[in-house]
Structure 1
Amino acid sequence: MFLQSIKGVVTLIRIVPVLSWSFCAIILSVGFAVHDLKGFGSLSWPVVGILLTGSLLLQGIVAHAFNDRTDWQSGTDRHSPGILSGGSKVIPKGLYSDRQLLLVGTLGLIAAAGLGFYLSRVTSNLVWIFIAIGMWSAIAYTTGPLKLAYYPLAGEWLAAFPAMAACSLGTYYVLTGSISISIVWASVIHSLLCTAWLMQHHLSDIDSDLQASPRKLTTPAYVAMRWGKKYTPHVAAAYFLLAAFVSIMATLGVHRIFIFSLVCSLLGALAAWNTNPRNIGNITFNQIKMIAVTIVHTLILFGFEVITY
């Protein structure tokens, strides 16, 4: 039973989205903090470890547990043909029941709150602003009564994007005690890149989402219902192009390093435009390219900040 629970947690976490979302947000902010504090020695590495653990709890366990539970109950995960989508599949694998997922998510939330309490003691009570946003996003994304992911635009703008922005900005604030203009721009771009490939992620589940009860109207599902499935890749492309626009503004107004953000954004948009929304393999292949672009973007900015301090 214990080994099954451990296997369930590992399966639930889904390290790829956690790595490219939360972990990359933290790594990005660590790079900017190293630059602004003039060296790695000025950082509190135990605090960095706590930040990584907290993000793993909120995204990998809390958000995924609640998401899997809701999507299984609505039926969308039962019929998803996706390769990377369709949840962690801990329920059909018999690792957790939907009731156990509620318990796992709740325990993860309590553990994250405990880490938040520690961070507030060693830094400032202001960190609760960022922690509260992360908790809100993990809960409200698919948990009732809001179920933000079940409504077009709401899931990304009221949960996903704020969570990523809070993760990167909160990390920088905890490490430096302030917020810089550069990390704000970097955070917005990273959050948009993550949101863009989330839209790509939804493409595989459009049919099952529209058949779910209640119907899961993600933004791509809404576009498919209103205008047809052939237009659904435009959603991810639009977010990548928005990231490209922000990158141009950051390049002109902050630093030329953000030209690499522009390149990464355009590469993501190209992958979206080349997507066949009726081919699961093609959707997945282009999603992997988008994930790679997001990770590479983080590493470029991190590397530049570190080598120029």
Structure 2
Amino acid sequence: MVLLVRIVPVVSWSFCAILLSIGFAVHDLKGLSSIPWQVVGSLFAGALLLQGVVAHAFNDHTDWKSGTDQKSPGILSGGSKVIPKGLYSERHLLLIGLAGIAASAGLGKYLSHLTSNYAWIFIAIGIWAAVTYTAAPFRFAYFPLVGEWLAAFPAMIACTLGTYFVLTGSLSKPVVWASIIHSLLCIAWLMQHHTSDIDADLQATPRKVTTVAFAASIWGKEVTRHITAAYFLMAAFVGIVATLSVHKIFIFSVFCGLMGALAAWNTNPHNIGNITYNQVKMIALTVLHTLVLFGFEVIT
């Protein structure tokens, strides 16, 4: 199960989204003592279930069945490897995914009891994203732009805003901006992640036409680094707007976005080692962005 969860994306995506909002909540509620830690524990458990178990179980099942995981040369991509290692079968992964949904719903009931029934809105978005990203018949990740905008991006927005809402009972302008920036940073390094698998994805049945795979099939792999950079630049642009309209701390978001774009531009899309090296830098930037904003909100 530990192998299936793939802790790096879970930490840099969902856990960082939760931590980011905890920082804003601590600031707005005037101290750590105001934070209901049983709610925080439920949020982290829910994120682990939905992204680490449900999303990854369905992802491994679909990508193995289509054949892309078998052909992937990626170091950090190509699934969790639980099927080729003989740990789980395709059927096991489906059952694990369904069990994860049931457990998430149970946790959602507990969380709504502790906080508000509005928590179900954010939980429903999380379940939707975890299922539709790769599970049939949706398989949003198998179409350009759809996977990131109809599944991944809404999930991160819901995770960030949902955390803040269940902790405070409201939403605030700064946390909305922070959620958008964090989500864009995550989507940006997801594009880098997909770059390793372009050839394998395009040979899959059905073809896994991610955004970068689609671009590479038309214009060649060289253009893929511009797609990754574009998402980082979007994060930087939102950071500029947030700096001017909300708080100067968001200038750090601009820095992270620009550094991520630089890593994308410096990527050799034909070299798996170089793709991975720059992906690790992008993941580090995403985590650092969360830690700096969290620390600032808690201290001030």
- Aligned positions of 1:1-309 closer than 5 A: 9-308=1-300
Q: Is the 8 A contact 2:39 2:114 kept in 1?
A: no
* Aligned-partner Cα distance in 2 for 1:234–1:14: 27
* Aligned-partner Cα distance in 2 for 1:87–1:10: 13
Counterpart code for 1:190: H
* Aligned-partner Cα distance in 2 for 1:266–1:243: 9
Displacement after TM superposition at 1:146 (Å): 1.2
Number of residues paired by the alignment? 300
Q: Is the 8 A contact 2:21 2:161 kept in 1?
A: yes
Displacement after TM superposition at 1:120 (Å): 1.0
- The 3-state SS of whatever aligns with 2:136 is coil
Displacement after TM superposition at 1:234 (Å): 1.0
TM-score normalised by structure 2 residue count = 1.00
* Aligned-partner Cα distance in 2 for 1:98–1:145: 16
Unaligned runs of 5+ in 2: none
CA RMSD of aligned residues (A): 0.4
- The 3-state SS of whatever aligns with 1:143 is coil
- The 3-state SS of whatever aligns with 1:185 is helix
* Aligned-partner Cα distance in 2 for 1:114–1:155: 26
* Aligned-partner Cα distance in 2 for 1:171–1:28: 9
Unaligned runs of 5+ in 1: 1-8
Counterpart code for 2:288: V
Q: Is the 8 A contact 2:24 2:298 kept in 1?
A: yes
Q: Which runs of 4+ in 1 moved over 6 A?
A: none
Q: Is the 8 A contact 2:253 2:289 kept in 1?
A: yes
TM-score normalised by structure 1 residue count = 0.97
* 1:100-119 deviation digits (Å, cap 9, x = unpaired): 00000111111011010111
Counterpart code for 1:205: D
Counterpart code for 1:219: T
* Aligned-partner Cα distance in 2 for 1:233–1:157: 19
* 1:199-254 deviation digits (Å, cap 9, x = unpaired): 00000000000000000000000000011111111111000000011000000000
Q: Give the equivalent residue in structure 2 for 1:3.
A: none
* Aligned-partner Cα distance in 2 for 1:222–1:191: 22
* Aligned-partner Cα distance in 1 for 2:267–2:142: 23
